[in-house]
Amino acid sequence: MDETKTTIEGLTYEGIIVARANTIEQIAAPFRRGKDSPIIATLTVSSFDVDQLANILPSTGASFLMVDFHLEGVNIEKVFKIRELADYPVCLIGLVEADSNKESVLEEAGLDKLYNIPLTPAIVHKMKRELPAVVHNTQSTWGKGAWNVAPDMIRKAAKQAGGAPWERHKIGVWSPKGGVGKTFLATELGVALSGIGGRSCVLVDANMNGGHVKLRLGFDSHDKQHSIVNAANIYRLEGGNGKPEAIKKALSEDIFLKVGGHGNLDLLAGVDSMIEAQHDALATEAGYQFAQDMMDHLRRHYEFVIVDLGSSTNVGVHRGVLIKLDTVLIIAEPGLTSINDSRTGANLLEQIGIPRDDIKLVINKWLPDVGLSLKAASASANLSVAGLIPFDASGNVTRAENEGISFVAKHAGTTKVPTHTQKTLDGIIDVASRFYPPIGFAWNQRKSQDQKKGFFKGWKKND
């Protein structure tokens, strides 16, 4: 088992243990209330019932569920199902006999933590030391990133559709005007491609007018270390000018923020203001060269590179990114002025060397019956439409933003969402599936299962 070094001082977590009688006897004493332990067994159960446990967990406020995988009726699919039904960040801890045929399977199953039984004093000590940090991490990352965007049952469908054609892609989200949803679309594409699709993704905030991606994902707005400014400055100090070692050091692993607990989505945060964008490492030709080398480097290390861009094509960083993209998504609202701005913007992009076929229109906050058809919008912009994202009248998009949580991360894995929210989710997934088709397959499978059996019933985890 891996060694977790961190601990959380002064915090106590209570949970439910489901195990065979002999295992409960081993656990009851060291984790009994009143003992000097940060982990308390509020309830011990010797039978495994998915629906019963899903009801008990929220009613007790349990922080963790510890399960003996040798108990009759227990399997990984059912354990994940309990967390799905409970619909809150319960930490899943597995117990498995050492060197058993189940151990190797469970090590790769995605549990928050796994321990060997029978328990020894050393294992008990390790659990007391490690588990507070594990439970805390589960709670703090819940809804903030990709790991719980959609349960692993969805990913099984994505794996089944793995033969669908796709390729690595550099995607830019751009508009000639602000306030139309660039950051929203870039963020949600990154979460969908990494969380539901399971692909390695990096989300880059390259908006030199002042970026807000890290705020949307709940990161500290004062963190300057994990930023494009710092990366560009390291690049400059290392000699820049297209030197492979310079960009490699500038984009080392510790420059990125890790989104959530999933591991598939990294974030390179942007500038906080236009003043920061005037830094010598980002301004004019220096920024242009850095942006090009950055895009080439990221393309080699990630399957999808998604960039949130500022509106000007004259800024060095913007132009350096734009000419390296495989696809530019121009986002607009469903009014003729915004659609016509998209046409003007596409003309500007063509002037700097971006083929029109690589430019696609995404209409955000789409409303039916507003007097503009999809065909008319496409014709007016002189662009093919890559997607429609319906307006969510429930306010859940703004609510997620204010909570610092991805909209997809918050709602894609929940059991019930308002109709408007579901349609907005469908629109985002449709755009993402144009770059990775298995996501669309998985999403449609999920909806089909939802209609027939209830949300995710009958699904199996892919591991």
Q: Reduced to 3 states, what is the DSSP secondary structure of residue 450?
A: helix
Tell me: the pLDDT tens digits for 340-373? Answer: 999 999 999 999 999 999 999 999 999 887 778 8
Strand partners, 331: 362
- Spatial neighbors of 82 by CB under 8 A, at least 6 apart, are 50, 53, 54, 57, 65, 90
* List of long-range contacts for 430-433, beta carbons under 8 Å, 24+ apart: 430/387, 430/388, 431/185, 431/189, 431/329, 431/362, 431/386, 431/387, 431/389, 432/189, 432/192, 432/193, 432/196, 432/197
- In the predicted model, what is the mean pLDDT of residues 125-137? 90
- Spatial neighbors of 179 by CB under 8 A, at least 6 apart, are none
Say if residue 31's pLDDT is above 80.
Answer: yes
In this prediction, residue 35 has a pLDDT band, given cuts at 50, 70 and 90, of low
- In the predicted model, what is the mean pLDDT of residues 324-351? 95
Give the burial class of 20: count Cβ atoms within 10 A of its Cβ; 0-12 exposed, 13-18 middle, 19 or more buried: middle
pLDDT over 90 for what percent of the chain? 51
Strand partners, 44: 17
Q: Around 369, how many Cα atoms within 13 Å sit in the side-chain half-sphere?
A: 0
315 vs 20: CA distance, rounded Å: 65
Which has the minimum average pLDDT: 255-264, 289-298, 314-323, 423-432? 255-264
DSSP string, 376-411: HHHHHHTS-EEEEEE--TTSHHHHHHHHT--HHHHH
8 Å CB contact between 192 and 429: yes
- In the predicted model, what is the mean pLDDT of residues 197-221? 88
- Spatial neighbors of 111 by CB under 8 A, at least 6 apart, are 76, 79, 92, 93, 94
Which has the minimum average pLDDT: 13-27, 294-308, 311-325, 413-427? 413-427
Q: Which of 294, 38, 25 is nearest to 172 (CA)?
A: 294
Tell me: the pLDDT tens digits for 169-205? Answer: 999 999 998 889 999 999 999 999 988 888 889 999 9
Which has the minimum average pLDDT: 1-10, 41-50, 141-150, 335-344? 1-10
- What's the pLDDT score for residue 152? 59
Q: What is the pTM of this model?
A: 0.69
pLDDT over 70 for what percent of the chain? 87
8 Å CB contact between 219 and 267: yes
Which has the minimum average pLDDT: 214-223, 240-249, 269-278, 360-369? 214-223
Give the burial class of 384: count Cβ atoms within 10 A of its Cβ; 0-12 exposed, 13-18 middle, 19 or more buried: exposed
Strand partners, 18: 45, 67
- What's the pLDDT score for residue 86? 78
8 Å CB contact between 340 and 176: no
In this prediction, residue 99 has a pLDDT band, given cuts at 50, 70 and 90, of confident
Which has the minimum average pLDDT: 82-86, 157-161, 385-389? 157-161
Q: What is the H or E stretch that residue 309 is in?
A: strand 304-309
Say if residue 149's pLDDT is above 80.
Answer: no
